Amino acid sequence: MAIDSQIKRGSAELAILLLLGDQPLHGYEIAKRIERKTQGVLRFTVASLYPLLYRLEKRGWVKAKWETIPNGRRRRYYRLTPTGKKALVPLREQWRMFFRALSRLAEVASA
Amino acid sequence: MPDWTPLVKERLGTLGLASGREEEILAELAAHLDDVYEEWIGRGVSAEEAVRLTLKEVPDWAGLRREIHHAEHAEGDMNQRTKSLWLPGLLTSLLGMGLLFVMQWIGLVPYSIKPGRYVPIVIYWQWYILLPVAGAVGAYCSRAAGGNIRGRIVAGLFPATVLGAAMGLAFLVALFVDRQVPLSLKFPAFVIYLLGWSVVPGLALLLGVLPFLQQPKARARA
């Protein structure tokens, strides 16, 4: 089932921050991991991913640095900053509450 | 393997960013397309088909340009506006009102004229003399935060503008609410209040703003 783009956009920040909380990743890796972990429900393209990453970077939640990967190519790795870590806590909680509320609503509707 | 950087540059066009940042973004997008292309090749797709599939990553290049431009400017601009306009404007207002409060507190009496049946004209000349200082502080802070000339003027004249707007609103409310007082009395009262609380203070503030409309010498030379 395709997810509406507005919902996707809203949850995208959380998905990226959660991933970067584990380890630094470059854009392509971020897109692939999100796709894999959500079993294809969330899929980021170049067009949807980078504006979001630049927005997070501008906010100071992530920081990027060029690094050379084993095949000799250079990739820009994103890391979660301490500000990003702080921002992630309420963001995660807000989404948890949101999904809990939706889940309750769905239960009521189907009852 | 295709060279993605010129392709991205051609399709994305100019982003209007500092050249280093613009090149960085082009290189990063090209690197991502490179990875996607490799993935398709790895799946056994022909080179031509891989290019076609890779380009599907960006169905609307103009849209991507807008999104990146927005991401790079919007939030930063808002912060910049807060720093160079709203905060200096607030400071000017606090300083201007603070000066008036201190004057009233120490008992300085304004000059007052009663023109016939109209409301008295109150001239806080001591306040007007001190107001250029508040205007100067606002304009200086705006300039220090990178504000442009318009921003410095707005920040420096902020309290006069707010008071002027408040007078205008009060006049409109009085027009429709208080119908017992004739317009021949309301309008002169509005003009008198507007002059005393907005126009003359605005001119006094502007005097303080003027020296800060030019760039500091070191920057002007650059």
| Contact flag A46-B33 (C-beta cutoff 8 Å) | yes
What b-and-e string marks burial along B186-207, b requiring 16 or more CB atoms within 10 Å of the CB?
Answer: eebbbbbbbebbbbbbbebbbe
Could you say which of A58, A73, A75 has the minimum Cβ distance to residue B71? A58
Q: What is the pLDDT of residue B108?
A: 85
Dihedral sign (CA A29, A33, A36, A39): negative
State pTM to two decimals.
0.56
Residues 3-62, chain A, touching B (beta carbon < 8 A): 26-28, 31, 45-47, 49-52, 54-55, 58-59
Structure tokens at A88: 């992630």
- pLDDT (tens place) for every residue of chain A, 111 residues total: 454 555 666 678 889 999 999 899 999 999 999 999 988 888 889 999 999 999 999 888 999 999 998 888 899 999 999 999 988 888 888 888 888 887 888 777 666
Could you say which of B24, B63, B75 has the minimum Cβ distance to residue A55? B75
Q: What is the pLDDT of residue A4?
A: 52
Find chain A residues with C-beta within 8 A of B18's C-beta. Answer: none
pLDDT under 70: residue ranges of chain B: 74-80, 215-222
Q: What is the pLDDT of residue B107?
A: 87
Domain count, chain A: 1
| Contact flag B57-A45 (C-beta cutoff 8 Å) | yes
Q: Domain containing A47 — which CATH number?
A: 1.10.10.10
Q: What is the pLDDT of residue A94?
A: 82
Q: Can you tell me the ipTM of this complex?
A: 0.85
| Contact flag A47-B63 (C-beta cutoff 8 Å) | yes
Find chain A residues with C-beta within 8 A of B57's C-beta. Answer: 45-47
Chain A nearest-CA distance from B155, in A, is: 25
Domain that holds residue A52: 5-110
Q: Which secondary structure element, helix H or strand E, spans residue A65, and what is its range? A: strand A62-68
Pairs of residues, one from chain A and one from chain B, whose beta carbons lie less than 8 Å apart = 59
**∠ CA A79-A41-B35 to the nearest 5 degrees?**
50
Q: What is the pLDDT of residue B205?
A: 95
Find chain A residues with C-beta within 8 A of B70's C-beta. Answer: 51
| Contact flag B57-A46 (C-beta cutoff 8 Å) | yes
| Contact flag B31-A73 (C-beta cutoff 8 Å) | yes
Q: What is the pLDDT of residue B74?
A: 65
Q: What is the pLDDT of residue B122?
A: 82
Q: What is the pLDDT of residue B114?
A: 79
